[in-house]
Amino acid sequence: MKVMDIAEVAEHAGVPPSALRYYEEIGLIESVGRHGLRRQFGPETLLRLSLIALGKLAGFSLTEIARVFGPDGQPSLPRPEIRARADELDRQIQNLTTLRNLLRHVADCPEPNHLDCPKFQRLLRMAGRHGAKVGAGKRKRMPRP
Amino acid sequence: MKVMDIAEVAEHAGVPPSALRYYEEIGLIESVGRHGLRRQFGPETLLRLSLIALGKLAGFSLTEIARVFGPDGQPSLPRPEIRARADELDRQIQNLTTLRNLLRHVADCPEPNHLDCPKFQRLLRMAGRHGAKVGAGKRKRMPRP
DNA sequence: GTACGAGTTCAAGTGAGCTTGAGGTCAAGC
DNA sequence: GCTTGACCTCAAGCTCACTTGAACTCGTAC
């Protein structure tokens, strides 16, 4: 399996062909050539797609992710920026952890009105702690698949 | 500060007035009345906005969040669904943690090409572990603020 | 050599979550 | 009473990340 056509890549990466074409269009991935009209992808594309998926998860936009891959194709970005992003991720992880605790609590707590439950309130206050405002964990949106 | 007009709420919650009007339109928040034309919001709106921000962070869509607030205004959702969401959050936290480690490593590792660094590769493989495919952490997108 | 089907291009459409702009209203301060 | 300016409504527009559809092209199998 040296080169793959788009369907194989789609299969392995769990990304639809239309999205792969889109990624190529915006320069996120590259095909190694064509077989007739058909794009051929090298195996390194799969690695790249893993990184892309990870980047998306972390809240990078596709254009930001594209910036991460230097012109030579290998990841590169100023170190301070990377560190800043890691710090931001830390805050996000904190918030998500709190939220998960909140959810688990809600699932178990017998109190009919959660807003009255002191534990709920405590968890909720914790949630506000990281980043100036809760809403500052701004950078997320969801595509309904 | 019993009731607040939209600018105050916007200020405290870190959410622009236009967004607050939108939230009201889709039934996510309610004003307690009007002062002339102007919406007046009670202090409980701020709590609600915290929950909304948290929900967004966790990957709920606005309509899902709206569903969480029952008709009586207090949070309510089937327990199994809540637990499922908590589990999903766990996976997401795992992935984000791996990614953070990856970023910190990249920021520190002297290896010129990260793809060659064994530690990088190990971290990357870990990232793929949670959820059938890396790309299955699907539900996220980012609004640029 | 012809049929098939998996791929191709390009333009337009989608949905979420807002934002923007034009034109209007109203309470408060002078 | 007039002005000011913060708010209002409503429709349209925007961004992101894709998806969809129509019309077309090839390599492969028969």
- A86-105 pLDDT per residue, tens: 888 888 888 889 888 988 88
Structure pTM? Answer: 0.78
**What pLDDT digit, counting tens, does each position of A98-136 carry?**
888 988 888 888 777 777 788 887 877 776 554 434 333
In 3D space, the residue among A38, B103, B96 whose CA is nearest the CA of residue A20 turns out to be: A38
Q: Is the dihedral of CA B81, B87, B91, B94 positive or negative?
A: positive
Do strands A33-35 and A38-41 pair parallel, antiparallel, or not at all (unpaired)? antiparallel
Angle between helical axes of A79-108 and B44-58 (0-180°, round to 10)? 110
In 3D space, the residue among B127, B122, B125 whose CA is nearest the CA of residue B98 turns out to be: B127
Q: Alpha carbon A117 to chain centroid distance?
A: 34
Instruction: Please report residues contacting nucleic strand D, using a CB cutoff of 7 A.
Output: A 16, 18-19, 21-22, 35-37, 56, 61-63, 143; B 5-8, 17, 21, 37-39, 141-142, 144
Interface contact A114-B142, CB threshold 8 A? no
**How many angstroms separate the CA atoms of B9 and B39, rounded?**
10
Interface contact A47-B115, CB threshold 8 A? yes
Is the pLDDT score of A76 beyond 60? yes
- E strands within chain B? 4-5, 33-35, 38-41
Report which of residues A49 and A122 the model is more confident about: A49
Strand C neighbours among B 80-139, CB < 7 A: none
Hey, which residues does B34 pair with through a beta bridge?
A: B39
Nearest to B15 among A56, A93, A135 (CB): A135
Contacts of B53 in chain A (CB under 8 A): 133-135, 137
Query: CA–CA distance from B122 to each of A24, A37, B98, B128 (Å)?
Result: 27, 36, 10, 10
**What pLDDT digit, counting tens, does each position of B80-111 carry?**
878 877 888 888 888 889 888 988 888 888 77
| Residue range B132-144: mean pLDDT, rounded | 39
Q: Alpha carbon A9 to chain centroid distance?
A: 19
